[in-house]
Structure 1
Amino acid sequence: MKNIAGKFVKVMEECSSIRKNGTNDFHHYKYATSADVLEKVNASLVKHKVASIVTPEIITTADVLNNKGNTEHLVTVKVTITLVDTESGESMVISGAGGGQDGGDKAVMKAQTAAIKYAYMLSLAISTNDDPEADSKTDENVCATELVKSAGASDTPSCSDCGAKLTTGVMNVSMNKYGRPLCMKCQKKVQVVA
């Protein structure tokens, strides 16, 4: 294992950081694309004469309803990646898991792509130069929930306009969008006025 481990360390060094070039317009965040990760990792593996063989395995499948009430397929895939040093014949195995959801036939491909991307990112300790746990929106939502509770409200948050009980998810969306807890009906009223 000495040869493959040495080459793996060189790949880790060359792939230590990936820029976030992808943008999710719907949820408004940047991410490292699978294409960017695979391009960088593949170039380094080839340079060091290490072949990669990916074996996917479907772990779970389910049909779920999306936010619009349409049925989509949700799939979880585990990939096992065997890395082979073409010079010494030594090999090592890394693995990853990923999920994909799609209304057509792309759920498995999305899950496989995520699983491969994260297998490499985690195994090679690839940084995107940020801290995914530093989520100020989540922190704001937690603080808002605590504020509603400490203001004498019950454990269940309620709409600031009509008093209807809110789920945590509805309250979090409302706090992000309107700065106060509103039920869906009152959110729609605010949207019409705005």
Structure 2
Amino acid sequence: MQKLAKKFIEVMKECSHIAKAGTNSFHGYKYATSADVMDRVNSSLAKHGIASAARPELLSLQDVTTVKGNTEHLATVKMTIELTDVDSGESCSITGLGSGQDAGDKAVMKAQTAAIKYAYMLSLAVSTGDDPEADIHTDQAGEELSVVPLKPKPIRKRVSQNNATVCVDCGTPISDKVFDFSVKRFGAALCMDCQKNHQAV
């Protein structure tokens, strides 16, 4: 896959950094939007003649109860993206995990959007210019907010290269301190960004 790999490196260079243009007004943090990630990545893939085909797989769909007693749907999706070099025919696949919660019918769509976003960000080593584990404001907010524990039970995954714990939602490596805090507050191993998504208001 040398030809595809060379093109993929060029895509990585062009997508190495994506500015955080989105703002969560309720929790007061900025993030790289899915639209910005998709626009940058798709433009670069098309430029270098790499076709993509996404295949979602619904891993779980369950109802959760918020602290206000409302029932919402929580979906977790695995997204597999097949990348094919149109010149050589070489191909490879990348994957991402995403969860979405909604009171209506958009939980699966939110999960798919998160999964494809993080599949590209992790595979292309996209930087958004911050370290989520250094977000002290989230730690402080977690002490004040009531949260709904996630199911299934706490999961501690390992990355084969460095034996590091990773977030069960997006696959981002997390420290033992963040893992312990997340399991205690949410019932699952989550990075700081995904903890924000699962906070129940």
- The verdict on a shared fold, with TM-score over 0.5 as the criterion, is yes
* Structure 1 residues 142 and 107: CA distance shift in structure 2, 3 A: closer
Partner of 2:88: 88
* Structure 1 residues 130 and 71: CA distance shift in structure 2, 3 A: same
Partner of 2:6: 6
Of structures 1 and 2, the larger Rg is shown by 1
Structure 2 stretches of 5 or more lacking a match? 144-183, 186-201
**TM-score where L is the length of structure 1:** 0.71
RMSD: 2.0
Partner Cα separation in structure 2 for residue 133 and residue 88 of structure 1: 41
Per the TM alignment, residue 67 of structure 1 is displaced from its structure 2 partner at its CA by: 3.3
Equivalenced residue count is 146
Partner Cα separation in structure 2 for residue 117 and residue 133 of structure 1: 19
Partner Cα separation in structure 2 for residue 137 and residue 20 of structure 1: 18
**Residues 162-193 of structure 1, C-alpha deviation per residue, up to 9 Å, x if partnerless?**
xxxxxx97xxxxxxxxxxxxxxxxxxxxxxxx
* Structure 1 residues 61 and 81: CA distance shift in structure 2, 3 A: same
For the residue of structure 2 that corresponds to 1:95, the secondary structure is: strand
Partner Cα separation in structure 2 for residue 45 and residue 28 of structure 1: 33
Partner of 1:19: 19
Partner of 1:78: 78
Partner of 1:110: 110
Runs of 4+ aligned structure 1 residues displaced above 2 Å come to 137-143
* Structure 1 residues 60 and 21: CA distance shift in structure 2, 3 A: same
Partner Cα separation in structure 2 for residue 123 and residue 79 of structure 1: 12
Partner of 1:180: none
Within-5 A mapping of 1:182-193: none
Partner Cα separation in structure 2 for residue 103 and residue 114 of structure 1: 17
Partner of 1:68: 68
Per the TM alignment, residue 140 of structure 1 is displaced from its structure 2 partner at its CA by: 5.3
Per the TM alignment, residue 30 of structure 1 is displaced from its structure 2 partner at its CA by: 0.3
Structure 1 stretches of 5 or more lacking a match? 144-167, 170-194
Q: Which has the higher helix share?
A: 1
Partner of 2:135: 135
Partner of 2:37: 37
1:51 and 2:57 equivalent?
A: no
